[in-house]
Amino acid sequence: MRINKYISETGFCSRRETDRLIESHRITINGVICEAGATVEEGDLVLIDGKPLGSKGELVYLLLNKPAGITCTAAKHIEGNIIDFINYPERIFPVGRLDKASEGLILLTNDGDIVNKMMRSENNHEKEYIVTVDKPFSHSFIDGMANGVEILGVKTKPCKVTRISDNVFRIILTQGLNRQIRRMSKVFGYKVIKLERIRIMKIALANLPRGKWRELTQEELVQLKGMLQ
């Protein structure tokens, strides 16, 4: 089994975080520093920072209303990281990212399998945001955003954009490019001053206060796993 899959299935961290640990030479297999693409056989001793991996316990699925200023990383050395902020008693890690300046819904879990499925399918499922820009916009801005914008060397997928007020709009994406909404808005001469994610697939932020978290309901979890099949 590849080392990324092995570690994610223990719930220690995601495959992406495992790559970072490998790059930092923090993982060993049978006393040898792990390299990218390494495999693990039954009976191998895998250590992270010289310590063995714990076995996967009860699976945890949390929804956090992230405040601005919190960084979506499990890296403990980064000040203001999401793991220290939520201070959950079990080891968990974020599913995907919201950039540091953005707010709203983010999921955290110790289920490496569901993280990998969500990351692979993020371009197929809806994510909804409320966005405030620095000045009033016209209808042509809404049309331009909805029809696709050239950023990062590609044209974004068509999306749903609706006006809320003179300088606030709702946008529903089925894509996850880096800082996508901010980059799209900048093409038309607008700067995003507030960005809040309010929904991922059928999981909604609703009235959860900023900075608070809750466990996913059984209904939400069933829907989530069903959509990832």
User: What pLDDT, on a 0 to 100 scale, did the predictor assign at position 121?
Assistant: 58
What is d(CA 189, CA 213) in angstroms, rounded to the nearest whole number? 35
Neighbours of 215 (CB within 10 A): 11
CATH architecture observed for domain 127-200:
2-Layer Sandwich (3.30)
pLDDT tens readout for residues 74-131: 888 899 999 999 999 988 888 888 999 999 999 999 887 787 777 765 667 899 999 9
Cα angle: 213, vertex 215, 217; to 5 degrees: 135
Catalytic site residue from 44, 49, 84, 99: 99
- Percent of the chain at pLDDT exceeding 70: 97
Residue 19: active-site member: no
Q: Where are the domain boundaries for CATH 3.10.290.10 in the chain?
A: 3-52
Neighbours of 1 (CB within 10 A): 12
Domain 61-122+203-227, what fold?
Answer: Alpha-Beta Plaits (3.30.70)
- How much is the pTM? 0.78
User: What pLDDT, on a 0 to 100 scale, did the predictor assign at position 57?
Assistant: 65
Domain 3-52 has CATH 3.50.50.60: no
Unique residue bearing structure tokens 């209904």? 219
User: What pLDDT, on a 0 to 100 scale, did the predictor assign at position 25?
Assistant: 94
* Farthest-apart Cα atoms in the chain, separation: 63
Q: Which amino acid is at 58?
A: E
pLDDT in tens for each of the 229 residues of the chain?
A: 899 888 887 777 888 889 999 999 999 998 899 999 999 987 788 899 888 776 556 889 999 999 999 999 888 889 999 999 999 998 888 888 899 999 999 999 988 778 777 776 566 789 999 999 999 999 999 999 999 999 999 999 999 999 999 999 999 999 989 999 999 999 999 999 999 999 999 999 999 999 999 999 999 999 998 888 7
Q: Where are the domain boundaries for CATH 3.30.70.1560 in the chain?
A: 127-200
